[in-house]
Chain A
Amino acid sequence: MIRYSLKKLALLAITFLGLSIVAFSLIRMVPGDPVLMMLGERGASPESYAEMKATLGLDQPYIKQFGLFIWHAVHGDLGNSIVSNQSVVREFFDRFPATLELSVVALLFAMMVGLPLGIIAAIKRNTFFDYAFMGVSLVGYSMPIFWWGLILILVASVNVFDLPFFGWTPVSGRISPMFEIDSVTGFLFIDVWFSKDSWAAFWDALKHVLLPAIAMGTIPLAVIARMTRSSLLEVLGEDYIRTAKAKGLSTRRVIMVHALRNAMIPIVTVIGLSFGMVIKGAILTETIFSWPGIGRWLVNSVTSLDYPVIQGGVLLIGMAIVVVNLIVDLAYLWIDPKLRDAHDRSK
């Protein structure tokens, strides 16, 4: 297991280099000049244009720019944003907690709803519940989430249909500005406890996160529900479950203890995969719900040709996804001893 982890870590380093090359070269292939972009309609004289380029280091040959980028990246410095002139690493970590927090809540929502749906569908296989739940999750899986987010705002927050009970979720944002929460960890659900009015702030933050989390969690929810159902069905058909049942264990106990445990492996994989999906969803969701995370930040930096932000941001996100996948891989081994043996033997 340790050797396996080490090997994975070595692969991480290679991925790191690859990501750097991809991020660095891709953004430079985008036509257009970041300095001209900044100048806008007004423009500038050729001399001051050249000078601006020089101060941003964009007059150097690409190879040299890349060398400097890697050299600094290894030392934990990804340069400064062209637009804000702030350190990219800082800008990233000022925003990442918001995205992570939203992703975690979205995944929690997906699991809390998706797992029961899948379990019930599996138990009540081929009944109305099965069809209904699986139908719903397939609709969820097919949802264009940018559209879904708008509809959620319209129906739940604005309450266009004047439904009872709706209308108390805020339209957008992370917390209402009435609450002044100092950023201690960057995670609002932790930071509220360091401020006054903790409970009120907590509820407020919860209300704010609800809709974006639903929008973002819908597709993972569908995947989790479907995967839970099918892996549970597979396990339920195995001999030892039949034996357990024959031995007189109650159906509920059999499912909870034996079947679900064995069905965990594919489910964990899916949750890990969903994390990547959630990050993808972040770009769209954050735009719609004015969520101050990295998704929006990156999209904006593509449009403003902010080279350091793109190459640094992509690198950091890519690494985050790779690390999450690694954790999932390890969790996988930890859950299933059989697999662990197989891995160790194969080395």
Chain B
Amino acid sequence: MKKMSLMMLVMTYLASCTQNEQVNLHAAESKRTDKTLIYCSEGSPSGFNPQITEDATSINAENPYYNRLVTIQRGTTNVVADLASSWSISKDQKEYTFVLRKDVKFHTTANFKPTRNMNADDVLFSFNRQRLKDHPYHKVGGGNYLYFEAMEMDIIQDIQKVNDSTVKFFLKRPDSVFLANLTMEFASILSAEYADAMMKAKTPDKVDTMPVGTGPFVFKSYQKDSVIRYEANPEYYGAIKPQVERLVILITPDASVRTQKIKAGECHIIAEPSIADRKIFENDSNLKTYSMTGLNMTYLAFNTKKKPFDNLLVRKAIFHALNRGAYIDAIFHGMGELAESAVPPATWGFNNNLPTYEYDIQKSKQLLAKAGMPNGFSTEIWALPVTRPYNPDGRKMAEMMQADLAKVGIKVKIVTFDWPTFLAKSRNGEHSMLMFGWISDNGDPDSFLYTQLSCSGAEAGSNRAFWCFKPYNDIVEKAKRVSDIQQRTELYMDAQKIFKEQLPWVPLASAKAFRVTRKNVTGYVMDPLGRDFFDGVNYQ
């Protein structure tokens, strides 16, 4: 008994101590007026060089310290100038000339002090490292430049330095998406001077682990799986300056734990908040919620090469049989928008006037009868095996579809594989119906309408419907070659109309991105591409 009371005493002491500590901390904080912004992220970055990493988690960790030649205006999908003050495109659309800012300084860190401002050499270094197999840095960090590959940047014939502040890109063929691709993180500008210094010091991998950039925050340290620290860059050139002295990314992989942490005030902003906790966030007077329809798309693709999905009537019948509204409620908990087109509504060029195929079991049955299958048929749905930003629970959605289709006599077996196998097998066209999705990288409709629906996509496997429809294909091919936004918009409008008539997919939903901050956080702007930016963010 004595022992017990002693323990209680110790515990009470402990508790009172910590309370005092907290008070002291706050006092100290207000005295120094330096602020630490805490962002609780959903996972550990796989690296600190955006040329190599490709996951959203890493990108959010890299964005505080890097910039690109051009960028996407915060909160929109428009391409605007950044490290390049201006650019011009030649008549034949094969020559892009960028004029660089002259006032941009690279960060001074523990192991690097820049002697010159950012210039053309840095641009050349950043692209040539990824582009040229014999570049001294090409093999550093593994030599796999996934995004560079995926965005088909081998379209670059050559890059030339005209003078210290002018760079020219020569393309093999015109590509209207090229500029939008340069806004992506893999096109970040790294310091050539730092790279040279590290090569001399025989520690080239420090370029990737102790990054030096130009951005609003300076990378300071990373404790594995735990915390990434940054300090504000006092010399940042951008219009939106960092508002806090320090930025901390706290790695908190469990969504329900993140919920508790922001409620407890242990984070200012949380990544990927659980949609299921939306009510909690909304009811908490200390929290602020943000939402925005993201540039993503989840859909059910028919393998149009396989029977009976080559039959338009069957595709229409299935569209009518699916109660898509219910999926938004149950799977997205309302945080999704019903999709009617092949591109998400937040993209430019989105066609708002497409016909819909309402949920109607009778109509569906009639269409099936017309197609010669009044009693339905048996088939498979491949359920998305992992949680993706465009679909929080593929398995649950497949269960709901299964129940819906049973009502019109279509017996569905739910099939699932591990993620890589799922990707590989569906690329080979082994599926009948496939639940799939896509996240835009650069806001350009091309990545939806071309990559996933064109004939060349059907050949490569990125068109999971294996749908090759000439009238449609001609339009999207053309749109890839013109650079005038107005003209492209019109072409994409037509393309979406054909898509909706032919239905290679049932478009299901675009997930809404959802963020939560503490009430006292100001200046946070949501990004349709799902990135989190911290310059301009402050708290009271």
Contacts and interface: CB of A to CB of B under 8 A. Distances in A.
A31 B224 CA distance: 28
A183 to B, nearest CB: 6
Nearest to B141: A85
B25 A200 contact: yes
Given A83-B46, A183-B223, A290-B251, A41 B423 contact: yes
Contacts of B229: 177, 180
Q: Max chain A CB contacts within 10 Å: which of B18, B36, B437? A: B18
A323 B124 CA distance: 52
Interface string A285-327: 0011110110011001000010000000000000000000000
Nearest to B17: A203
B106 interface: no
Given A32-B418, A173-B252, A305-B420, A55 B144 contact: yes
Contact of A37 (B44, B224, B225, B419): B419
Given A33-B420, A55-B142, A287 B226 contact: no
A38 B150 CA distance: 12
Interface in B264-293: 264, 266
A41 B25 contact: no
A84 B254 contact: no
B206 interface: no
A31 B18 contact: no
Given A37-B420, A172-B261, A288 B226 contact: no
B423 A171 contact: no
A43 B462 contact: yes
Given A33-B424, A55-B142, A44 B149 contact: yes
A177 B150 contact: no
Contacts of A154: 260
Nearest to B25: A178
A45 interface: yes
B417 to A, nearest CB: 8
Contact of B146 (A39, A173, A293): A39
Contacts of B264: 157-158, 170-171
Given A33-B424, A171-B257, A177-B38, A95 B142 contact: no
Contact of A171 (B208, B248, B261, B439): B261
Nearest to B225: A292
A116 interface: yes
B461 interface: yes
A91 interface: yes
A85 B223 contact: no
Contacts of A328: none
Contacts of B17: 203
Interface string A67-88: 0000000000000100111100
Contacts of B438: 41
Nearest to B251: A290
Contacts of B160: none
A194 to B, nearest CB: 15
Contact of B150 (A33, A44, A168): A44
Interface string A92-119: 0011001000000000000000001000
A177 B248 contact: yes
Nearest to A288: B254
Interface string B410-421: 000000011111
B76 interface: no
A207 interface: yes
A177 B18 contact: no
A8 B172 CA distance: 66
A165 interface: yes
Given A32-B420, A171-B257, A292-B226, A178 B36 contact: yes
A204 B253 contact: no
Given A42-B462, A43-B461, A153 B424 contact: no
Nearest to A91: B224
B253 A289 contact: no
Contacts of A183: 223
A229 interface: no
Contacts of A98: 226
A170 B25 CA distance: 15
A292 B223 contact: yes
Contacts of B417: 31
Interface in A241-293: 287-290, 292-293
A85 B52 CA distance: 10
Nearest to B55: A40
Contact of B142 (A85, A206, A287): A85
A177 B253 CA distance: 16
A29 B437 CA distance: 28
A206 B419 CA distance: 40
Nearest to A94: B224
A36 interface: yes
B260 A158 contact: yes
B374 interface: no
Q: Max chain B CB contacts within 10 Å: which of A31, A38, A171? A: A171
A330 interface: no
A170 B150 contact: no
B18 A203 contact: yes
A95 B222 CA distance: 12
Interface string B21-61: 10011000000000010100000101100001010000000
In order of increasing CB-CB distance, the 5 nearest A-B pairs are: A292-B225, A292-B226, A32-B420, A36-B420, A177-B248
26 contacts: A31-B421, A33-B420, A33-B424, A36-B420, A41-B436, A41-B437, A42-B150, A44-B146, A45-B149, A52-B144, A85-B47, A85-B142, A95-B224, A158-B264, A171-B261, A172-B252, A173-B226, A173-B250, A174-B226, A176-B266, A177-B248, A183-B223, A204-B21, A287-B253, A288-B257, A300-B44
Interface of A: 30-34, 36-45, 48, 52, 55-56, 80, 83-86, 91, 94-95, 98, 116, 150, 153-154, 157-158, 165, 168, 170-174, 176-178, 180, 183, 200, 203-204, 206-207, 287-290, 292-293, 296-297, 300, 305
Given A84-B47, A177-B248, 13 more contacts: A32-B421, A33-B421, A33-B424, A36-B424, A43-B462, A94-B224, A95-B225, A154-B260, A158-B260, A168-B18, A288-B257, A296-B225, A297-B225
Interface of B: 3, 11-12, 14-15, 17-19, 21, 24-25, 36, 38, 44, 46-47, 52, 54, 139, 141-144, 146, 149-150, 208-209, 223-227, 229, 248, 250-254, 256-257, 260-261, 263-264, 266, 417-421, 423-424, 427, 436-439, 460-462
